[in-house]
Amino acid sequence: MKKFIMLGYLGLIFSGILTAVPAQAAIPAIEREALIALYNSTNGDEWRNNSGWKTPPLHLDGFALPGTEDSWYGVTCDDNVTTINLHHNELSGSIPPDLGNFIKMTALHLYLNQLNGSIPPELGNLTNLEWLYLDGNQLTGSIPPELGNLTSLEVLCLYSNQLTGSIPSELGNLNNLESLQLNNNQLTGNIPAELGNLTNLKWLYLNVNQLSGSIPPEIGNLTNLVILYIVGNQLTGTIPLELGNLTNLQKLSLSSNQLTGNIPPEIGNLTNLVILYLVGNQLTASIPPQLGNLTNLVYLYLSSNQLSGSIPPELGNLCDLKDLYLYSNELTGSIPPELGNLSNLERLQLGFNQLTGSIPAELGNLFNLKDLFLYSNELTGSIPSELGNLTNLEYMYLHNNQLTRRIPPELAEEGNLTNLHYLRINNNQLTGPLPDELMNLTGLYNYQSDFCNNYLYTDNIALRDFINTKQIGGDWESCQLPLKCECDINDDGKCDMQDWLLFGEDWGRTDCNEAGVDCECDLNGDGKCDMQDWLLFGEEWGRTDCPIP
């Protein structure tokens, strides 16, 4: 009887053992050891999620029983480990070289953790790997050239670490690579010409490193490329005209380097381009009119270079454009009225150039415009009343020019410029009384506008007080220049026959507000040279003490 009971008891134990054994076959012991090495090397007990790794009953190695690995958080297995996905899981410490033993692995995701130390060269053994994400850590050291052995790799993301050294030329062996993201590190040296072998590449991010030398023309071989970002390095030389071969390119950023020479006209071949950033280089010569072919362009940033010549009127073809940044160059000539065709434009920044001529009335067609920055040029003529149509405008910066005449009252008629927050017209030669309509600009922020250094005045106490609340410093009158004589058209300090000769040329005209017409005699800005202007003109006739601007 006792023997029967004992056998039954042993049977129950044996049955329990059988139920604890997992149904899945165990992965190779070397791969289990590599998983345990990863856990121990990266402080696994403190991971955000480590479920399954140490679920009882435990094996002698202190982890869940062999054959349970597919239930360990972040691990996918069949007969081998195929995927490790532990991104954003608070891993800290170093990547163990044992990971090189996962010979069937296709994806390794360790991004957005606190991993440090170097990238093990043993990862170059993972010849079936298709996705390698180590970005968003604190990895140091150089990129192992052994990664060039990963010929199945489609995505290599090492960005936002602290990697140093050069980009291995061996990466040019990764013929299946579609995305190479090495940005936001401390990489130095040249861009390897071998990267031009990656003909399947769609996304190339090398931005925010310390790369030097020139852009290899072989990059022009990457005809499947959609994004090319090399912004924020120390690159020199010219922009290769071979980039004009990248007809699938949608985003091109070469900003914040030390590139010289001209903008290649071949860039005009990139008709799928949405973003073109060339800001902060040393580019010279003129803006190629071929950029007007980029009809899908939304953002065009060419500011802070040494570009010269005139603004091509062909830019008026870019009907999808939202941002046009040409400031801080050496551009000359007039502002093309064709820019008034850019009906989607939100930001127009042309400041710090040497532009001349008048402000085109056609800019009043830019109904979506939020920023109008024309400051620090040599613009002349009057402020077009059509700018009052810009009901979405928030910034109007016209300061530091040579604008003349009175501020047109239509500019601030009720319903116009309803969203304007900043109005800066200081340091011009604007004359006459301020229009009472300026009090309609109730959206102006207090003490953020500037009317100084003109010849402006008002007898309207309410208007005076209103402008004081908007003027930087709170007092717009004390910073005005001595009042100029309206009739001193040639600015020689006198109202005499010389002015009359200028004034009289357009006498009787009634088309002074039409495009391209600027009548000196239209003092009141009503589009006509008539007796109303003469009455203004004649008030000071004969003066010889007019202040000279």
User: Is 184 contained in some domain?
Assistant: no
Provide mean pLDDT across the span 83-95. 98
Same domain (yes/no): 464, 524: no
Question: 486: pLDDT confidence band, cut at 50, 70 and 90?
Answer: low
pLDDT in tens, 188-235: 999 999 999 999 999 999 999 999 999 999 999 999 999 999 999 999
Residue 527 has a pLDDT of 78
pLDDT in tens, 328-339: 999 999 999 999
Burial class (CB in 10 A: 0-12, 13-18, 19+), 249: buried
Element (H or E) spanning 289, and its range? none
Backbone angles phi, psi at 447, to 5 degrees: 60, 30
Provide mean pLDDT across the span 158-175. 98
Which domain CATH number covers 315?
A: 3.80.10.10
Q: Cα separation of 387 and 236, whole Å?
A: 41
pLDDT at 27 over 90: yes
pLDDT at 296 over 90: yes
Same domain (yes/no): 328, 286: yes
Same domain (yes/no): 412, 465: yes
Same domain (yes/no): 423, 511: no
Could you identify the residue written with the tokens 């004359």?
431
Q: Cα separation of 147 and 121, whole Å?
A: 7
Provide mean pLDDT across the span 468-485. 92
Same domain (yes/no): 308, 351: yes
Query: Which candidate, 235, 245, 238, 174, places its Cα nearest to that of 206?
Result: 235
Same domain (yes/no): 448, 350: no
- Total domains in the chain come to 3
Residue with the larger pLDDT of the pair 155 and 526: 155
User: Is 97 contained in some domain?
Assistant: no
Residue 4 has a pLDDT of 36
Burial class (CB in 10 A: 0-12, 13-18, 19+), 29: exposed
Same domain (yes/no): 345, 421: no
Same domain (yes/no): 328, 375: no
Could you identify the residue written with the tokens 């002349």?
380
Report the C-alpha dihedral over residues 143, 149, 152, 155, rounded to 10 degrees: 10
Same domain (yes/no): 475, 431: yes
Residue 10 has a pLDDT of 38
Question: 16: pLDDT confidence band, cut at 50, 70 and 90?
Answer: very low
DSSP state of 501: H
Mapped onto helix, strand or coil, the DSSP state of residue 403 is: coil
Structural Rg of the chain based on CA atoms: 35
User: Is 378 contained in some domain?
Assistant: yes
Same domain (yes/no): 375, 344: no
pLDDT at 12 over 80: no
pLDDT at 535 over 80: no
pLDDT at 6 over 50: no
Residue 484 has a pLDDT of 61
Provide mean pLDDT across the span 103-115. 98
Q: Cα separation of 537 and 332, whole Å?
A: 33
Same domain (yes/no): 321, 241: yes
Report the C-alpha dihedral over residues 530, 531, 533, 539, rounded to 10 degrees: 160
Q: Point out which residues pair with 75 in neighbouring strands.
A: 84
User: Is 103 contained in some domain?
Assistant: no
Residue where one domain finishes, among candidates 483, 508, 528: 483
Q: Cα separation of 222 and 198, whole Å?
A: 7
Side-chain-side CA neighbours of residue 288 (13 Å):
15
User: Is 241 contained in some domain?
Assistant: yes
Element (H or E) spanning 115, and its range? strand 114-116
Residue 536 has a pLDDT of 64
Residue where one domain finishes, among candidates 446, 461, 483: 483
Mapped onto helix, strand or coil, the DSSP state of residue 81 is: strand
Q: Identify whether the C-beta of residue 346 lies closer than 8 Å to the C-beta of residue 371.
A: yes
Q: Cα separation of 84 and 123, whole Å?
A: 13
User: Is 546 contained in some domain?
Assistant: no
Same domain (yes/no): 335, 313: yes
Q: Cα separation of 160 and 181, whole Å?
A: 9
Q: Cα separation of 209 and 187, whole Å?
A: 5
> In Å, what is the CA distance from 425 to each residue of 320, 394, 436, 457?
29, 14, 17, 14
User: Is 299 contained in some domain?
Assistant: yes
User: Is 181 contained in some domain?
Assistant: no
Domain that residue 301 falls in:
236-355
> In Å, what is the CA distance from 419 to each residue of 416, 438, 472?
9, 13, 19
